[in-house]
Structure 1
Amino acid sequence: MSVRQGILALLSQRPMYGAQLRSEFEDRTGGTWPLNIGQVYTTIARLQRDGLVEDDVEPDDEGRKEYALTDAGRAEVAAWWSSAAPPTSDPRDELTIKLALGVTMPGVDVADVVQRQRAAGMQRLQELTAEKRRGPRDLASELVLERRIFDAEALVRWLDHVEGRLSQSAPSDHPLIPQENA
C-alpha cells in the first residue's frame, strides 16, 4: 500500500489535518509503517497538485488545515478499492542479490550464507509467533502481523529450496565461474 493511496482512503471517511492522517495511518496499519510528518505533507501537496485533495477551509485556532477529497479523489479511492494490488515481492532484495552473486563467485560459501539466513529467518518467525500468542489485538493489527508471519515462513521455505538446488548443482552449472576456480 502506498502512502498516497492510504491517505486518500483515510480522507474518504472525513476531512483530516496532517497529524491526524499520520496518526490514523500508523494506528490502522498496526504501527508497522511509521510515517514522517514531512512525508504526509509532501504527499498531501502532490495530491493537491493532482486535483485529488483540497483544503478549502481556513486553518483552525492552532493553525491546522483540514484536507478533504475532491470528486476526482473519491473516484481514485473507489478505483483503488476495486482493483487488485500489484505483487510486492521484488527480486532485487539484498538476500536474493547476495545469493545470485554468491553462486557465481569463487570462494563464497553459499551454503553457509543460506544457513545463517535460515537461522535468522527462524528466529524472526519465533518472535512473530510469540507476538501473536501474547493476545488479541484489533483485526487490522492481526492481519498485518499474520502477513509478516507468512512472509517469514515463505522465506524459510525458499531457503530450503535454495539449499536443495545447491546440493544438486555441479560446478559446471555456474557458467560465469571459470572452471579452474569452481
Structure 2
Amino acid sequence: MSIRHSLLALLQDAPRYGYQLRSEFEERTGATWPLNIGQVYTTLDRLERDGLVQNDGDDGEGHVIYSITAAGAAEVEGWFAQPVHQSHPPRNELAIKLALAVTLPGVDVSAVIAAQRSASMTSLQDYTRSRRASPAAEAGVRPAPGDTAWLLVLDSLIFATEAEIRWLDHCESRMVALAKLPAPAVPPGAAAGAPAAARKGVRA
C-alpha cells in the first residue's frame, strides 16, 4: 500500500496536518488499513525532503500544516494514471502456511484448510452485512463520495475473500485427489524419507 501517494492525494485536496491526514485516510477507506501516526509524520518528512510537500508552519493551535507542491501534484497525477503492477506479489501468509503444511510430516492439512475456510466465511458474512448497511447500497440514491469510497473497499474485500474460499475449495479437492494416488517410489539404495541432497553428503 502506497502511504506516500495516499497522503499526497489527500494534500492535493487541501492542506492538512498529520492527524487530519490519518483521519481522512481511515475515513475514506473505512478504517480497513489503519495508519500509525508515527508512520504519517515519517512519510511527511520524506515527502518534504523530496520537495513534494512543504511545511506551511503552525496553524496557531499547535498543528504543523503541510501543503502539496507542484512536483507533488505531478507525482499524484502520475500515480493515478499508472496501473498498479504486481510484478512482485506480496507475501500471502495463507499460501505460505499451506505450502509448508503439505511438505512437513504430521500436519493435518485438511484441518488447516477447514479452519481457514470457517474464518474466511465469517469475514465474508461480516463484509456482506456491512455492504448491505452502507448508505451507498441504496438503489436510486446518489451516495456521498465517502460512502462510495467505502463501498468500493468493501467490494474489494468481498471479492478477495470469495476468491480465497474458492482457492481453499480447490486445495481441498487437490488433497483428496492426491490421497488416492500411490506414494512415490523410493529409489533403490536410498534411505526412506532422506532428501537426495542430504544423501550425497553422507559417507558410507
TM-score range, shorter chain: 0.7 to 0.9
| TM-score, L = length of structure 1 | 0.87
3-state DSSP of counterpart to 2:127: helix
Whether 2:56 is the aligned partner of 1:47: answer no
Task: Give the superposition deviation at 1:180.
Answer: 5.7
User: 2:165 matched to which residue of 1?
Assistant: 156
Change (3 A) 1:91 1:103: farther
* Partner Cα separation in structure 2 for residue 109 and residue 20 of structure 1: 47
Query: Aligned-pair distance for 1:133?
Result: 2.1
The alignment status of 1:87 with 2:95, answered yes or no, reads no
Question: Unaligned 5+ residue runs, structure 2?
Answer: 137-146, 186-190, 195-204
Question: How many pairs align?
Answer: 176
Q: Larger relative contact order (C-alpha < 8 A, sep ≥ 6)?
A: 1
Structure 2 counterpart of 1:113: 112
Amino acid corresponding to residue 166 of structure 1 in structure 2: M
Q: Kindly report the root-mean-square deviation, in angstroms, between the aligned alpha carbons of the 2 structures.
A: 2.2
* Structure 1, 162-171 or 149-158: larger mean CA deviation: 162-171
Change (3 A) 1:172 1:136: farther
Answer with 1 or 2: which has the greater Rg: 2
Q: Higher mean Cα deviation, 161-170 or 97-106?
A: 161-170
Matched, 1:172 2:181: no
Deviation track 1:76-132 (CA, whole Å, cap 9, x = no partner) reads: 101001000123994632211111111111221111211111111112111211222
Runs of 5+ unmatched residues, structure 1: none
- The alpha-carbon distance between structure 1 residues 91 and 130, as it changes in their structure 2 partners (threshold 3 A), is same
**Contact 1:172–1:179 (CA<8 Å) still a contact in 2?**
no
Q: What is the letter of the counterpart of residue 154 of structure 1? A: A
Cα offset, 1:47, TM superposition:
0.4
**Correspondences of 1:135-146 after superposition (within 5 Å):** 135-137=134-136, 138-146=147-155
Matches within 5 A, 1:48-87: 48-55=48-55, 57-87=56-86
Whether contact under 8 Å (1:52, 1:71) holds in the other structure is yes
Tell me the distance in 2 between the aligned counterparts of 1:25 and 1:91: 22
